[in-house]
Amino acid sequence: MLRESVRSLAEAKIAPFAADVDEEGRFPQEALEALVAGDLHAVHVPESYGGAGADALATVIVIEEVARVCASSSLIPAVNKLGSLPVLLSGSEELKKRYLAPLAQGDGMFSYCLSEPDAGSDAAGMKTKAVRDGDGYVLNGVKRWITNAGVSEYYTVMAVTDPEKRSRGISAFVVEKSDEGVSFGAPEKKLGIKGSPTREVYLDNVRIPADRMIGEEGTGFATAMKTLDHTRITIAAQALGIAQGALDYAKGYVRERKQFGKPIGDFQGVQFMLADMAMKLEAARQLTYAAAARSERGDGDLTFFGAAAKCYASDAAMEITTDAVQLLGGYGYTRDYPVERMMRDAKITQIYEGTNQVQRIVMARNLPK
Ligand SMILES: Cc1cc2nc3c(=O)[nH]c(=O)nc-3n(C[C@H](O)[C@H](O)[C@H](O)COP(=O)(O)OP(=O)(O)OC[C@H]3O[C@@H](n4cnc5c(N)ncnc54)[C@H](O)[C@@H]3O)c2cc1C
């Protein structure tokens, strides 16, 4: 029922703008409004904080169905979870009440600020600092590649509080867009997900009260990594959705397009491609749903499953969308058809929340027993 209702909302209210959002590189405002109206913009927020209380699998299904029509729009529910999960996992009750309620009500989105210009895969090498000053902290630094920066009201920022301790000297904070000293860079000019703004976040002597720290001092990096264990599954969901959109389009196209006097879908060479695409997609889906169940239960093998689902599903999405372009021939290579957008959008799922090389490092360190 959830899938059906999200699919019909996505097809009616989000799909019609997807090509335009990509072409113009503009934020999908129509999608945000439709998702907020349907209470689907941050479904993971528990009911006790005014949210829909969706479990990890339901959240995956929402993201999957939005990504099936518009990957950029699927970053609204996905990044709202990414940005706010540190608060949910490690924040005080007071922080949860203060920030999760407006998120659930659609009054402010959340972004996640871990990466920096010189600290990507090696995120613990970050330079942004938070220095204790009386009853607060003063933050200085640059965060890079921040999804929905400028649009979001709230930012979970990881910053160094003790440079001697490397990852154990990093703490997490909630920073608000309106805090003095917060500003944003120009939107990055990207290959895909062009509707999702990616910008630098500048922190210039940003003074915040000490109660905006998420968890204890020095626990921010551990919270950031624990968050990714859960949210890599949402990137897998995004990959599944993009791949499903491309497969659905290609399936319809091969029935209509005629060459050699018959639909190209009658050729076994084409049928075998579609069979492989559907097989890879279903394998990726099963792994993603298995990971979502582990996320919900908090199982010990979540780290392996989260990384495996993200890595496998994103590699599958890249292959499936590339094959969809192939099945449309020259037409697939043009912006008159949606599959080239889907192929460009799929690429990012192999890069963010840790590249697929990094996922393999994570898996190798956490092999199933
Ligand atoms: C569109 C977009 C949105 C993003 N959104 C966010 C966001 O909201 N918040 C946020 O904090 N970050 C975000 N990111 C950052 C993203 O997570 C990083 O780009 C990613 O982790 C890789 O870091 P990097 O770009 O610095 O690449 P690098 O770390 O410089 O990696 C370059 C290459 O080297 C490889 N490599 C690096 N180390 C190793 C190793 N040990 N073994 C093998 N290979 C290795 C990588 O796999 C990659 O192929 C976003 C990025 C993009 C492009």
In this structure, the residue with its CA closest to atom 23 of ligand 1 is 120
Give residue 191 CA to ligand 1 midpoint distance, Å: 15
Distance CA 157, CA 159 (A): 6
Burial class (CB in 10 A: 0-12, 13-18, 19+), 229: buried
Phi-psi region of 273 (alpha: psi -120 to 50; beta: other; left: phi over 0): alpha
Give residue 112 CA to ligand 1 midpoint distance, Å: 14
Structure tokens at 254: 């091969």
Report residue 179's pLDDT band, with 50, 70 and 90 as the boundaries: very high
User: Which atom of ligand 1 approaches the CA of 193 most closely?
Assistant: 1
The 10s digit of each residue's pLDDT in 21-46 is: 999 999 999 999 999 999 999 999 99
Q: What is the DSSP letter of 53?
A: -
Reduced to 3 states (helix: H, G, I; strand: E, B; else coil), residue 26 is: coil
Phi-psi region of 27 (alpha: psi -120 to 50; beta: other; left: phi over 0): beta
The 10s digit of each residue's pLDDT in 323-347 is: 999 999 999 999 999 999 999 999 9
Average pLDDT value over all residues in the chain: 98
- Give the residue range(s) of CATH 2.40.110.10 domains in the chain: 110-218
Longest Cα–Cα distance in the chain: 79
Lining residues, ligand 1, CB within 6 Å: 111-115, 120-121, 145-147, 190, 193, 198, 348, 351-355, 357-358
The distance of Cα 57 from the centroid of its chain, to the nearest Å, equals: 15
Q: Tell me the β-bridge partners of 28.
A: none
User: Which atom of ligand 1 approaches the CA of 147 most closely?
Assistant: 8
The reported pLDDT for the residue numbered 257 is 98
User: Strand 154-160 vs strand 110-113: parallel, antiparallel, or unpaired?
Assistant: parallel
* Phi, psi values for residue 246, rounded to 5°: -70, -40
- Find the mean pLDDT for residues 187-201: 98
Reduced to 3 states (helix: H, G, I; strand: E, B; else coil), residue 107 is: coil
- Any catalytic annotation for residue 282? no
Percent share of the chain, pLDDT over 70: 100
In this structure, the residue with its CA closest to atom 13 of ligand 1 is 145
The CATH architecture to which 110-218 belongs is Beta Barrel (2.40)
User: Which atom of ligand 1 approaches the CA of 357 most closely?
Assistant: 47
Percent share of the chain, pLDDT over 90: 100
In this structure, the residue with its CA closest to atom 38 of ligand 1 is 121
Distance CA 109, CA 122 (A): 27
Cβ atoms of 351 and 226 within 8 Å: the answer is: no
The reported pLDDT for the residue numbered 215 is 98
The reported pLDDT for the residue numbered 55 is 98
The 10s digit of each residue's pLDDT in 220-256 is: 999 999 999 999 999 999 999 999 999 999 999 999 9
Cβ atoms of 284 and 305 within 8 Å: the answer is: no
The 10s digit of each residue's pLDDT in 107-117 is: 999 999 999 99
User: Which atom of ligand 1 approaches the CA of 354 most closely?
Assistant: 21
Please provide the distance, in angstroms rounded to a whole number, between the alpha carbons at the two ends of the chain.
36
- Give the residue range(s) of CATH 1.20.140.10 domains in the chain: 221-365
In this structure, the residue with its CA closest to atom 17 of ligand 1 is 352
User: Could you tell me which CATH number the domain at 2-105 has?
Assistant: 1.10.540.10
Cβ atoms of 56 and 293 within 8 Å: the answer is: yes
Which CATH class name applies to 221-365?
mainly alpha
Give residue 130 CA to ligand 1 midpoint distance, Å: 23
The reported pLDDT for the residue numbered 255 is 98
The distance of Cα 205 from the centroid of its chain, to the nearest Å, equals: 29
- Give the residue range(s) of CATH 1.10.540.10 domains in the chain: 2-105
Burial class (CB in 10 A: 0-12, 13-18, 19+), 109: buried
The reported pLDDT for the residue numbered 66 is 98
The reported pLDDT for the residue numbered 290 is 98
In this structure, the residue with its CA closest to atom 24 of ligand 1 is 120
Report residue 284's pLDDT band, with 50, 70 and 90 as the boundaries: very high
Distance CA 179, CA 203 (A): 9
Cβ atoms of 101 and 49 within 8 Å: the answer is: yes
The reported pLDDT for the residue numbered 286 is 98
Report residue 49's pLDDT band, with 50, 70 and 90 as the boundaries: very high
Catalytic residue among 64, 116, 340, 353: 353
Structure tokens at 100: 């999760």
